[in-house]
Structure 1
């Protein structure tokens, strides 16, 4: 008998409130998903915010945005380079005609190199990930098109709690995020960000919580 799971995610931001619900059904090697947002039910049932997906974990994902009639294809594969695994993800968004290739070379459990290339614009981003003693993670990334650096540092406070800080040099946005997993079979995330380039420098806050259910 196929296994079904459902999830509900609620997000409150300074400028927007949103809810997303997802139902996933395992059908052998494949997984069928349907997701809807709060706009699907405002003013009566509609197709707004509704998307349907079929995926084979580790191989491909086909996502169909019903109201926009937009299809997104994503293919995954892993190859060996100098006896190191290189994880590749090829993504094509038919609606906006965008194609991207993302590759992550796993040097060892503590070190990874990643690259993301956009075929339409030629933009390329590089990222290096270093994990120290499975608790601290450092992720500098470089945007070749904008000639700018981004920095992310995260610290695992406990088995459930992670604190993350980030800074984007191009936009001068400083961010701080705290997340907790496995809370009531779900997650809780609270974040704040401030644009240091603005005169007011008013922080923006966001709270996000999700719950998972077996059906």
Structure 2
């Protein structure tokens, strides 16, 4: 049985982000997860309104059930794959009751270097299309078009030492510019991600920083 533990922390001069902790356990074909978000201000009053507590049950490639305890919200995901002209098409249907979200995601793998992804939100009319191109196996370009907002998101990532990745992105709708560094190190027992982002619409300010680490253990 495998257990994975991840901790995420974020700080920003304008927002009071919290600290997220997640414990994931693989039990046969199922993955069980429990996650919580605590207030960033130490000593702040803590109640169910302050904490985000969620439980998840997942069978990879088939279904995912998330239950948010404070809001009593259930999010369901069902996955399936079909072949279209001998190309694998991966489909994901998502429904969240309180969020009033119903969406269908699809990704079509044209070849190892080219993939097309799309999402449509029923009722909201939200529609996004993303194209992914891998150049030489080390550099990835991903433009994404949001039909509802008539805007583009663009990201470029580059593989560096031992398969680690550095990624730059820009979201035209929110004018957010960011840089991510994802690395695993030589022992491959853990994964680390650092993110720095800035909203250019607010002028030049101190970037928002966040850090995430994932450790894998065999039990």
TM-score exceeds 0.5: yes
Q: Structure 1 residue 180 and structure 2 residue 178: aligned? A: no
CA-CA distance at 1:188 after TM superposition: 2.0
Give a deviation string over 1:104-139, Cα, whole Å, max 9, x none: 000000000110111121110000000011100000
Identify the residue that residue 100 of structure 1 maps to in structure 2: 103
CA-CA distance at 1:178 after TM superposition: 1.4
Identify the residue that residue 22 of structure 1 maps to in structure 2: 23
**What is the rounded CA distance, in whole Å, between the counterparts of 2:140 and 2:156 in structure 1?**
6
Q: Is the 8 A contact 2:192 2:214 kept in 1?
A: no
**Aligned in 2, Cα 1:178/1:6: closer, same or farther, shift over 3 Å?**
closer
Mind listing any 5+ residue stretches in structure 1 that lack a counterpart? none
Q: Is the 8 A contact 2:24 2:31 kept in 1?
A: no
**What is the rounded CA distance, in whole Å, between the counterparts of 1:179 and 1:161 in structure 2?**
6
Identify the residue that residue 170 of structure 1 maps to in structure 2: 173
Q: Is the 8 A contact 2:178 2:197 kept in 1?
A: yes
CA-CA distance at 1:8 after TM superposition: 2.9
SS of 1:145's partner is: coil
Give a deviation string over 1:62-92, Cα, whole Å, max 9, x none: 1111121110000000001111000001000
| TM-score computed with the length of structure 1 as normaliser | 0.87
Identify the residue that residue 13 of structure 1 maps to in structure 2: 11
Identify the residue that residue 125 of structure 2 maps to in structure 1: 122
Q: Is the 8 A contact 1:21 1:37 kept in 2?
A: no
Instruction: Give me the CA root mean square deviation.
Output: 2.2
Q: Which residue of the other structure, out of 155, 159, 163, is the alignment partner of 2:162?
A: 159
CA-CA distance at 1:57 after TM superposition: 1.2
Q: Which residue of the other structure, out of 193, 196, 213, is the alignment partner of 2:197?
A: 193
Q: Is the 8 A contact 2:115 2:131 kept in 1?
A: yes
Map 1:75-114; keep pairs closer than 5 Å: 75-114=78-117
**Aligned in 2, Cα 1:37/1:4: closer, same or farther, shift over 3 Å?**
farther
Query: Deviating runs (4+, > 3 A) in structure 1?
Result: 42-48
More displaced 10-residue stretch of structure 1: 200-209 or 86-95 = 200-209
**What is the rounded CA distance, in whole Å, between the counterparts of 1:164 and 1:101 in structure 2?**
27
